Structure 1
Amino acid sequence: MFKIFIIEDDKTLFSEMEERLTQWTYDVHGVTDFNAILQDFTKIKPDLVIIDIQLPKYDGFHWCRMIRNHSKVPIIFLSSRDHPMDMVMSMQLGADDFVQKPFHFDVLIAKIQATLRRVYQYSAEPINLKTWAGATIDFEKNTVSNQKGTIELTKNELFILRSLIENKNKIVSRDELINRLWDDKRFVSDNTLTVNVNRLRKHLEQIGLGKYIETKVGQGYIALEGDSIHD
């Protein structure tokens, strides 16, 4: 049974989410103290976190940063605000998905199921090392290493990278990536993929690999290697 930690101060919404998710056999936990959310997180050890942006004292972005300092647990943001920067900020902080309020519970359930399936079924695969562009990718540790250092990626970033390098030097369409990452593109903003790919490329730049992921406008993305690299 997956444990879900819901960081939501609207008691009515929390109760409804708790009831609906419990019906889906999830073990749901809420916040006991909005000044000490990290203590609850550490105690619960959830498999997934759902977090609202607008919270008492500190906002959801703050708590996402705190959680990301300790864990790579998948995080889904909720927001009643409609500013695009909320989603961009969420993704830049390492969130796995974003749900706009008000939402239909079928959409939330679909996103939760897709995230858990992607993260935990994927993680359950045997240790797998792959080389690409002179780097070693460790799919168990979520790391990419070369002579310039080692970076750690989120599950979304690693999944995108894996999808690209499995088709290296070939274009992988945006629709294919969205469908592989989130199962149903009807529930995903096109900008969500863009933010995730940009974040992946920014991390790869730390070890000199940013140029190896190219955007093909109107088509998708490509992971370059060998003779396809352009200095």
Structure 2
Amino acid sequence: MNILIVEDEQDIRELLQLHLIKEGYNVYEAEDGIEAIKIFENNKIDLILLDIMLPKLDGFKVLNKIREKSEVPVIFLTARLGEGDKILGLGLGADDYIVKPFNTIEVIARVQALLRRTYKYGVSHKNEIINGELKIDKDSCAIYKNDIPLDLNAKEYKILEMFMDNIGKVHTKKQIYENVWGDPYYEDDNTIMVHISHIRDKIESNPKDPKYLKTIRGIGYKMEKIEYES
């Protein structure tokens, strides 16, 4: 499994990485909040160890952005002792909260326990979503139509994954661009339109009259909920 350590103190990152690798985990590292989000969006991450006091984007904001699209387990690692911080973190969707200085063995034990609970007792079913003839399998980063895999590039997959995660929700072009490209949006309509057009060519029976990926004029796009027709 892949674990992302988000921590601006290098010695703590290296200590955690050493112990996690010994336990057989693959480890990604980020030293600020912006880097953490980019790593998360471009890799399959199974659990995040997340500091609160981070450069560029604090841990609360990082968690909030992640929870917009994922239920990946998150453990806060922080020197902040306030009860209000703990309540806020758990309220935003953190799964556990460990205060520094911590015992590394305890951290590893909590990581293992949370991974067992998450992926043995039912959260993993969220990694597969079905809408009409379409199915996304997040574990393998594959999307199928009538059980036939679609040939998508990385950006097309991420756009379609975002829509499948939020069926019926309208996404603005700004939201799509900043979520998928990870950069500020400067009215670059053409880039998004080209990618949407390519996706429609692959998922729609009639791309000129789409039933899945609808245009909401003046706003953006949404994935329509489709009942499967046999």
Aligned partner letter, 2:98: V
Find the counterpart in structure 2 of residue 114 from structure 1.
113
Report the Cα distance in structure 2 between the residues aligned to 1:15 and 1:125, rounded to whole angstroms: 29
Flag the 1:33–1:76 CA change in 2: closer, same or farther, 3 A.
closer
Find the counterpart in structure 2 of residue 105 from structure 1.
104
Listed one character per residue, the Cα deviations across residues 12-57 of structure 1 (whole Å, up to 9, x for unaligned) are 1101110111001111101276434322101122000110000002
Q: How many residues align?
A: 126
Aligned partner letter, 1:3: N
Flag the 1:32–1:9 CA change in 2: closer, same or farther, 3 A.
closer
Alignment of 1:189-200 (within 5 A): none
Deviation (angstroms), 1:84: 1.1
Report the Cα distance in structure 1 between the residues aligned to 2:121 and 2:108, rounded to whole angstroms: 19
Report the Cα distance in structure 1 between the residues aligned to 2:123 and 2:65, rounded to whole angstroms: 26
Flag the 1:10–1:24 CA change in 2: closer, same or farther, 3 A.
same
**Alpha carbons 2:33, 2:58 under 8 Å: kept:** no
Find the counterpart in structure 2 of residue 23 from structure 1.
22
Q: Which runs of 4+ in 1 moved over 3 A?
A: 124-127
Aligned partner letter, 2:54: L
Matched, 1:95 2:85: no
Find the counterpart in structure 1 of residue 143 from structure 2.
none
SS at match of 1:25: coil
Aligned partner letter, 1:56: P
Find the counterpart in structure 2 of residue 139 from structure 1.
none
Report the Cα distance in structure 2 between the residues aligned to 1:45 and 1:33, rounded to whole angstroms: 19
Deviation (angstroms), 1:106: 1.5
Report the Cα distance in structure 2 between the residues aligned to 1:126 and 1:42, rounded to whole angstroms: 20
**Alpha carbons 1:32, 1:40 under 8 Å: kept:** no
Report the Cα distance in structure 2 between the residues aligned to 1:33 and 1:96, rounded to whole angstroms: 20
Flag the 1:5–1:125 CA change in 2: closer, same or farther, 3 A.
closer
SS at match of 2:114: helix
Task: Decide which structure has the larger Cα Rg and report it.
Answer: 2
Alignment of 1:103-142 (within 5 A): 103-123=102-122
Deviation (angstroms), 1:123: 2.2
Matched, 1:86 2:77: no
Aligned partner letter, 1:10: E
Find the counterpart in structure 1 of residue 38 from structure 2.
39
Find the counterpart in structure 1 of residue 60 from structure 2.
61
**Alpha carbons 1:81, 1:100 under 8 Å: kept:** yes
**Alpha carbons 1:77, 1:99 under 8 Å: kept:** yes
Q: Give the alignment's TM-score, normalised by structure 1.
A: 0.51
**Alpha carbons 2:7, 2:32 under 8 Å: kept:** no
Report the Cα distance in structure 1 between the residues aligned to 2:81 and 2:14, rounded to whole angstroms: 24
For structure 2, the 5+ residue unaligned runs are 127-230
Report the Cα distance in structure 1 between the residues aligned to 2:15 and 2:125, rounded to whole angstroms: 38
Q: Give the alignment's TM-score, normalised by structure 2.
A: 0.52
**Which is worse superposed, 32-41 or 78-87?**
32-41
SS at match of 2:5: strand
For structure 1, the 5+ residue unaligned runs are 128-231
Aligned partner letter, 2:44: K
RMSD: 2.0
Percent of aligned positions that are identical: 37
Report the Cα distance in structure 1 between the residues aligned to 2:55 and 2:23, rounded to whole angstroms: 29
